[in-house]
Amino acid sequence: MLKHISAAFFTLSLATSAQAKESYHWVQYVPGGVEARAISDGAECPAAAIDGGAVKMTVRAEPGDNYPIRVCAMPIPSTAKAATIEGQPLALPVAKPKRILVIGDTGCRLKGKQVQACNDAQLWPFQAGASVAAYMKPDLVIDVGDYHYRETACPDGNAGCAGSPFGDTWDVWRADFFIPAGNLLSTVPWALVRGNHEECERGGKGWARTMDPYAFDAAQGASGCLGPQKPFTLDIGGVTVVMMDVSTAKEDKVDEKQAAAYKEQFQALSKLAPNGPAWLAFHRPIWSTDGSVKAGETGGDNQTLAAAADGNIPANVQLTLSGHHHKFEVDAYEQDLPLAIISGHGGDDISPDVPKNPVGLTVNGKKINAGFAKPLTYGFAMLERGSDDKWTVIDYDVKGNALGRCAIDGRKVACQ
């Protein structure tokens, strides 16, 4: 446990009204490279520099309905040694990250009768976990999606969420993500996965303006929100991570049109990541337990993705990184499939019924023969690279206590 972390890290910032000065900046992977982003309520983009030379940021998104902020961007050359925005240093990627934070499903749920206590740092602990994670100094954050959760108004008289904004607005994106992620966002480069809560009819407008890896065009779609996008890759030094958008993949039955499109994407992985090991990062897991257990079998698979993936994922794909189910779990299969790491326990209401041990369960015909689970606990995962280039995944709670670990060997794991 990280006992010497200041208690201030665990104090939840409740600012949800317009601030005197909006200022957020970060670095994220985009198709073809790396980009710095900044959010400001100023009249123009903030001052920026790369390797000591002034660089003019370009406007990504002008202020619009419910978004009184300007979003700016600038590409970061792979040769850059240093970069700043408003004089503050940016966290640039390292060629071979050794510690990769995996976190997801972080926002505070307000949807009809599903009401989370957004004002209570114990019951919505995203900021606590993000602050501890920043203290642990990862080299990269892979966020597996679902940032925006405040969809409907807090019920009258509910002190747990009183004063919370709701809807696809900047106030919500600020409260659900940018304030609580603050320190982690500005000190570590990010790779951002789109979740189903970032679909265009949900939090898609804010996603499109601020975090979507692809270019923003206010004239497209719903105020610039695009449909599911094609995969892109990032090189983390001997491993290719393929970022996929499966935000709309239908779960309960196969959507034939979607399945055909995802099948093409899975088959194209041999061209996107032809050499060395590859990982896939996407929001919805394909075969993982959801708690509906009956006679050794469990629900939890995504029917559309399962139809698309079965037999179409190249052998060099070692693992998948996902969220969506609000738990931490590692699943390795009897069949020759990439192992699944699900790290969706970042802050939203935790899944109540997922099994304590997934080993021996069968998900849509795929038997889990090794793995680990730590249900009913908020936290995040850390992938750590050893000197032999083999990886270990460790589950942490929001106070930095290690709860379990699995050594990864190709598509196999040995868990403690």
Beta bridge partners of 375: none
CA distance 84 to 52: 8
Q: What is the pTM of this model?
A: 0.94
CA distance 300 to 113: 23
Taken in order 186, 33, 409, 105, is the CA torsion positive or negative?
A: positive
pLDDT per position as a tens digit, 349-367: 999 888 899 999 999 899 9
Q: What is the mean pLDDT of each run of 10 residues along the chain (416 residues)?
A: 43 40 94 97 95 97 95 97 97 97 98 97 97 98 98 97 98 98 97 97 96 91 85 97 97 95 97 96 94 70 95 97 97 97 97 91 93 96 97 98 98 96
